[in-house]
Structure 1
Amino acid sequence: MILLLDARDSFVHTLAGYLRELGREVEVVRTHQVSVPDIRSMAPEHLVLSPGPCTPAEAGVFVPAVQAFHGRIPILGVCLGHQAIWAALGGGLRAARPPLHGGATPVMHGGHSLFREIPAGFIGARYHSL
């Protein structure tokens, strides 16, 4: 079962739908209505942390869940969820001002395999509130 922790973002239902299309059982739980022991008792095979309108520190069980399950089960974070993984593992976050919702920005990369089929310079869309 994939446990999808919902930080009150409408995109969580889209994520759940895509995961179900892959034939997976998905349980959606609000991040402020569950604890690490609750998650442990649910025995998820994967953990997905949703987007949301706050910071990782304000996202309920996100950071404690990453700390508890890191290295034990796969964890995917989307937007806020990705930031929460970074924060839980000791990374620092600071607000980028101003927030940018849909801005186009030139992106350069050094040819890392992650970008294997993407040109070295491209225009990427940015969307962030933090």
Structure 2
Amino acid sequence: MRPPSADTPAVGTHPVRDNGAVSSPDRTRILVVDNYDSFVFTIVVYLEQLGAVCTVVRNDAVSPADGADFDGVLISPGPGTPEEAGVSMAMIEACGERSQPMLGVCLGHQALGVVTGAVVGRAPELLHGKTSLVHHQGTGVLDGLPVPFTATRYHSLTIDPATVGPELVPNGHTASGVIMAAHHRDLPLHGVQFHPESVLTEGGHLLLANWLRVCGDEQAVERSAGLSPLVRDASAVAARVAVP
């Protein structure tokens, strides 16, 4: 993936503070598609702490082609269904066509499921700020996380395991079988149903660092060591980053 050039029109680009972790020219550039979600700026804080530069755009203020100028695309949580999430599914399809790293969180994870042919339906129970243990084999973005680990869930919809096709590989689940993480069989497309940015989720920084490594930042995992949730930073980012 090539970084935006000086001649490339900015797509909702906003100044992001330099955390000193890595020099600005070498920082991984991430496009964050905001599905009108209150958690998006906490995710941005985590990515910044890991050394990334984020551009945040609403799901109705960006086109799939705009994502091509970034090292990776993150599809945020949000209300509603994947079909109602603006450009989210089209962006995932475009990332797949470009073999571009993508991470879907909650609604973004469900959108990945739909794009690969799965059905998203009602979860066995509505969960709002509840935690569950996620069982996994340490693959994909879950590499290095405890087995199992605690994850925070905010969702009423989920990918129906019975409808998952050959393109989607579930790699994390609850004890009752709810899919908590999945990735494309051949492409760098990943999704997590839970919220890695929650203070109650174990290993959120490491999970995002694993994804940034997929995006090309080989030092992100090392940088994640010792980081812990700092929710107070989210309000500062929200005030600093004006979303169009």
The TM-score with structure 1 as length reference comes to 0.79
Select which of 73, 77, 88 maps to 2:100: 73
Q: Map of 1:30-69 to 2, 5 A cutoff? A: 30-40=58-68, 43-69=69-95
Select which of 99, 103, 110 maps to 2:126: 99
Mark the CA change 1:108 to 1:88 in structure 2 (over 3 Å): closer, same or farther: closer
Question: In the aligned structure 1, how far is the partner of 2:87 from the partner of 2:150?
Answer: 35
Size of the aligned set, in residue pairs, is: 124
Structure 1 match to 2:44: 16
Structure 2 match to 1:84: 111
Question: In the aligned structure 2, how far is the partner of 1:108 from the partner of 1:6?
Answer: 25
| Structure 1 residue runs without a partner (length 5+) | none
SS for the counterpart of 2:60 is: helix
Shift of 1:118: 2.2
SS for the counterpart of 1:39 is: helix
Counterpart amino acid of residue 9 in structure 1: D
Is residue 65–residue 94 contact of structure 2 (8 Å, CA) maintained in 1? no
* Percent identity (aligned): 42
Select which of 145, 155, 160 maps to 1:128: 155
Structure 1 match to 2:31: 3
Question: In the aligned structure 1, how far is the partner of 2:80 from the partner of 2:147?
Answer: 31
| Structure 2 residue runs without a partner (length 5+) | 1-28, 158-244
The TM-score with structure 2 as length reference comes to 0.45
Shift of 1:97: 5.3
Question: In the aligned structure 2, how far is the partner of 1:63 from the partner of 1:90?
Answer: 12
Counterpart amino acid of residue 38 in structure 2: S
Runs of 4+ in 1 over 6 A off after TM superposition: none
Shift of 1:98: 4.5
Shift of 1:52: 0.1
Shift of 1:65: 0.7
Question: In the aligned structure 2, how far is the partner of 1:25 from the partner of 1:54?
Answer: 28
SS for the counterpart of 1:99 is: strand
SS for the counterpart of 1:23 is: coil
Question: In the aligned structure 1, how far is the partner of 2:150 from the partner of 2:32?
Answer: 31
